[in-house]
């Protein structure tokens, strides 16, 4: 196991990951953020270098972490050989199995290996899957010219909006999610529509893996074109920074799927998987 902390090697890795799209997209986005200031204090672990067969991005070991915060304790994974990934995952120096953490990636074997390894470590595993989409060409994004009420503003999210975002996020509604979203707002691009009182009506933000997440419009303000405006603006913003405009959506979320199709989004053949690992002794905690 090796920790890549050389800037030249990390730049090389970023280029190498492009050869393995779309499966490497989650790790690629994380590595891009590391190479551009590392706002979420991540690091890269590989099984070998330069001919790596598995790579994991993880929180930096030296940073103080909350063992119950699976939002921040997030890892992105890409492998060329499944066995190499399993061996890396089993390495206690690669993953902190004493905390609640999540793994994200675009390969079926991620769920399989998590279940296999967790079984011997008294770890509960919960998996979820989504359709993965990407806006591959900014010129293909529709030109959105919405005649908004002059009292409304298209702008960035503010840290003061984190509470509302947490309450409306399917994975939120708790202090840790609110803190995590506040950090995303501070560190990464976001777009929102504000009313004249500075209250968000519609928004989308970017996470630590350069993925567009939590696209949401308040129910009373839907069917006005705000979601399209916000999503298109954020996608173009990410492209202007050199990032892939990637996102994910539940197969049952028909309105969002229709919106993405109308934006010429490309639905990828691989699914996005999120695997949350919880040590058994944390399961009974009321605050989880």
202-210 average pLDDT score: 96
Residues of the chain above pLDDT 90, percent? 79
As given in the structure block, the two tokens for residue 253 are 């979320």
pLDDT interval class at 201 (50, 70, 90): very high
Is it true that 2-132+273-284 and 135-268 share their CATH fold? yes
Residue in the block written with tokens 């393995």: 20
Q: At what angle do helices 254-262 and 226-240 cross, to 10 degrees?
A: 60
Question: Rounded to the nearest 5 degrees, what angle is found at the Cα of 138, between the Cα atoms of 232 and 274?
Answer: 65
207-219 pLDDT tens trace: 999 999 999 999 9
As given in the structure block, the two tokens for residue 224 are 């006005």
Q: What is the pTM of this model?
A: 0.92
Look at residue 286 and tell me whether its pLDDT is greater than 50: no
Q: Which of 202 and 288 is assigned the larger pLDDT? A: 202
- The dotted CATH code for 2-132+273-284 is 3.40.630.30
61-71 average pLDDT score: 86
- The dotted CATH code for 135-268 is 3.40.630.30
pLDDT interval class at 6 (50, 70, 90): very high
Domain ranges of the chain: 2-132+273-284, 135-268
């Amino acid at each position: 196991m090796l920790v890549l902390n050389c800037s030249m090697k990390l730049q090389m890795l970023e280029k190498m990951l492009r050869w393995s799209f779309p499966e490497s997209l989650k790790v690629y986005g994380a590595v891009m953020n590391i190479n551009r200031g590392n706002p979420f204090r991540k690091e890269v672990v590989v099984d070998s270098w330069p001919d790596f067969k598995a790579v994991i991005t993880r929180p930096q070991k030296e940073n103080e972490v909350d063992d119950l915060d699976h939002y921040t304790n997030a890892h992105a994974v890409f492998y060329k050989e499944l066995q190499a990934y399993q061996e890396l995952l089993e390495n206690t120096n690669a993953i902190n199995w004493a905390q609640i953490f999540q793994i994200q990636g675009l390969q079926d074997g991620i769920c399989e290996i998590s279940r296999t390894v967790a079984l011997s470590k008294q770890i509960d595993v919960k998996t979820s899957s989504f359709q993965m989409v990407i806006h591959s060409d900014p010129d293909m994004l529709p030109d959105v010219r919405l005649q908004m009420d002059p009292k409304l503003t298209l702008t960035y999210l503010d840290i003061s909006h984190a509470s509302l975002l947490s309450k409306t996020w399917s994975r939120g509604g708790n202090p840790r999610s609110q803190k995590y979203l506040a950090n995303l707002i501070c560190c990464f691009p976001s777009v929102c529509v504000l009313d004249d009182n500075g209250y968000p009506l519609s928004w989308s933000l970017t996470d630590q893996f350069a993925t567009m997440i939590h696209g949401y419009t308040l129910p009373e303000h839907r069917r006005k074109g705000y979601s399209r405006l916000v999503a298109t603006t954020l996608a173009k913003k990410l492209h202007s920074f050199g990032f892939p405009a990637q996102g994910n959506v539940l197969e049952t979320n028909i309105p969002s799927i229709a919106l993405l199709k109308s934006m010429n989004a490309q639905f990828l053949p691989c699914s996005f998987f999120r695997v949350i690992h919880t040590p058994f002794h944390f399961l009974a905690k009321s605050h989880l």
